[in-house]
Structure 1
Amino acid sequence: MRARRSTRCVPTGSPKSGSSGRRARSSTITQSCWIRRRSPSSKVVEDGSTPGPVAVLVLAAGRGERLGHALPKAFVPLAGVALVERSIRALAAAGVFDVIQPVVATRDLERWAQLRLDGTPGLQAPVPGGAERQDSMREGLAALPADVAFVAVHDAARCLVAAQDLRAVVQAARESGAALLGERSRDTLKRVRDGRVVETPPRDEMWAAQTPQVIRRDWIERAMSKAVGTGRLGTDDVQLVEWAGHPVAMVEASAPNPKITRPEDLRMAEAMLAEEEAG
């Protein structure tokens, strides 16, 4: 997989040509700045970027009813290994996260105890999740050490995320304050209200948002407090700091990073793993 060469942002109005190889599946679309490719390095802070430990919250408290499996989604096996276990292994292997904090539903703590994650660097005991995504984030944030400067939020269902993309998005957040992984939309998107098209946004400005999404801790904590006060619920994590007026950088994923939501997603992920193992 290709390394990234630079993380300098350029205006969204003049994107580079080309598109990613996998069709966008996320319904969350972000318009943000552009990140050029750079060579990643583990836990290296470049001149001009913000230092400090990085924690990642692994959200694994949902039921995943659309997947149609008897197990909660995070514990559904992919080639014999639970999705959340694969995600945590991938995060640890990237070498950029000082703390890995799982957020797991109380009902699933016995399942968690059966995972094979002993000795994983930085892994903390799970904390219970909440009814909504923001509730789970709040529980995870409260459990983090005081010196954590950046918080990444990652869906347990995105267990195939590439190490070089993890390194790139963390470095981009150090430089800009907040960043997320994503891919360019290959489809023309329509804004629809009451069954009628009200707008067709320019396709070259549309991206499908992925995780992890990495944010300065002070930014996300203030933004979440404000969201609670106003009753706002974001559909993803950087949306909260967007509302607060902070800049958010977009990092184009260099490899497929699917979110396993439906049975066909699980089959696709199994095929990807089989192809990778076959060389």
Structure 2
Amino acid sequence: MRVAALLLGAGRGERLRHALPKALVPLDGQPLIAHALATLEATPEIDLVVPVVPESEQRAFESALAVLHDSGKRWPCVPGGVERQDSVAAGLRALPEDVGWVAVHDAARPRVRVADVSRVVAAAREAGAAILAVPAADTLKRVRDGLVVETPPRSECWAAQTPQVFAVDLLRDALGRAAAEGRRGSDCSQLVEALGAPIRVVEGDPGNFKITAPRDLALAEALRVTDS
């Protein structure tokens, strides 16, 4: 069964304070989405990549991607939904029947590495589900109404990244149950976790951070210079 990647770029990114949709904001002369797209297309284990984009900006995304080198893995842009899991569901509906595995990746994580994508896909094939994550560097607190209610052991805390890779049927089941119960998750693994399914954790790279605020974009620009 083939492996597809859903490249999620439908978010507006208000915290980035930019006139463009976040995934079209330039980084090193190319839109954010182009960097993750190139990595996914270069990953041998990924057979096809489906960009999921804002419906109102679909033509702008199609134009931006049309000028990029096409490895032959890229599928047409799919309009996303209001919430993240709506966009994931839209991407799943666009997949051909011979896709058995799906890697969900944020377009706002432009620094993901081919080797890490390969490792998390391999782990998912063994376990049914796998995510990239990095160990928490700081002590974390659970807070309610401005007061600390718990300090979980730092050794047990990891910061989730993407890609997150799942058997297609498992992710469909997780999305369907969440929709039936009116639940929203901050990532796909939270929805799969609610099914009681095991999720393998693969240690990623701290450089695979998400572009959320202007300082993140500035850091990514600086790291591009350092990398080169």
**Which TM-score bucket, shorter chain as reference?**
over 0.9
Provide the aligned C-alpha RMSD in A: 1.0
Single out whichever of 252-261 and 264-273 deviates more from structure 2.
Answer: 252-261
Amino acid paired to 1:227: A
**Deviations for 1:216-264, whole angstroms, at most 9, x for unmatched residues?**
1111111111110000101111111100000001111146101111111
Amino acid paired to 1:105: P
Shift in Å, 1:174: 0.4
Structure 1 residue matching 2:99: 3-state secondary structure? coil
Shift in Å, 1:194: 1.3
Q: Using the alignment, how far apart are the partners of 2:97 and 2:81 within structure 1?
A: 22
Q: Which runs of 5+ in 1 are unaligned?
A: 1-51
TM-score for both structures, normalised by structure 2: 0.96
**Deviations for 1:121-176, whole angstroms, at most 9, x for unmatched residues?**
31100110100001101100000011111111100000110111010000000010
Shift in Å, 1:117: 2.8
**Deviations for 1:17-64, whole angstroms, at most 9, x for unmatched residues?**
xxxxxxxxxxxxxxxxxxxxxxxxxxxxxxxxxxx2111101111110
- Asked if 1:77 is matched to 2:26, the reply is yes
Q: Using the alignment, how far apart are the partners of 2:192 and 2:64 within structure 1?
A: 36
- In structure 1, the residue matched to 2:96 is 145
- In structure 2, the residue matched to 1:214 is 165
Q: Using the alignment, how far apart are the partners of 2:159 and 2:209 within structure 1?
A: 11
- Equivalent residues in 2 for 1:149-164 (5 A)? 149-164=100-115
Shift in Å, 1:96: 1.5
Shift in Å, 1:84: 0.5
- Equivalent residues in 2 for 1:12-27 (5 A)? none
- 8 Å Cα contact 2:80-2:90 kept in structure 1: yes
Structure 1 residue matching 2:140: 3-state secondary structure? coil
Q: Using the alignment, how far apart are the partners of 1:197 and 1:175 within structure 2?
A: 38
Which structure's CA Rg is the greater one?
1
- In structure 1, the residue matched to 2:53 is 104
Q: Using the alignment, how far apart are the partners of 2:209 and 2:181 within structure 1?
A: 32
Structure 2 residue matching 1:160: 3-state secondary structure? coil
- Asked if 1:185 is matched to 2:136, the reply is yes
- In structure 1, the residue matched to 2:71 is 120
Amino acid paired to 1:134: Q
Equivalent of 1:253 in 204, 211, 223:
204
- In structure 2, the residue matched to 1:239 is 190
TM-score for both structures, normalised by structure 1: 0.79
- In structure 1, the residue matched to 2:37 is 88
Structure 2 residue matching 1:96: 3-state secondary structure? coil
Q: Of Structure 1 and Structure 2, which has the larger fraction of its residues in helix? A: 2
Q: Using the alignment, how far apart are the partners of 1:140 and 1:83 within structure 2?
A: 19
Q: Using the alignment, how far apart are the partners of 1:111 and 1:59 within structure 2?
A: 15
- Equivalent residues in 2 for 1:123-134 (5 A)? 123-134=74-85
Structure 2 residue matching 1:256: 3-state secondary structure? coil
Number of equivalences: 226
Shift in Å, 1:110: 2.4
- 8 Å Cα contact 1:153-1:212 kept in structure 2: yes
From the superposition, tell whether residues 260 and 254 of structure 1 become closer, same or farther in structure 2 (CA, over 3 Å).
closer
Shift in Å, 1:70: 1.0
- 8 Å Cα contact 1:161-1:255 kept in structure 2: no
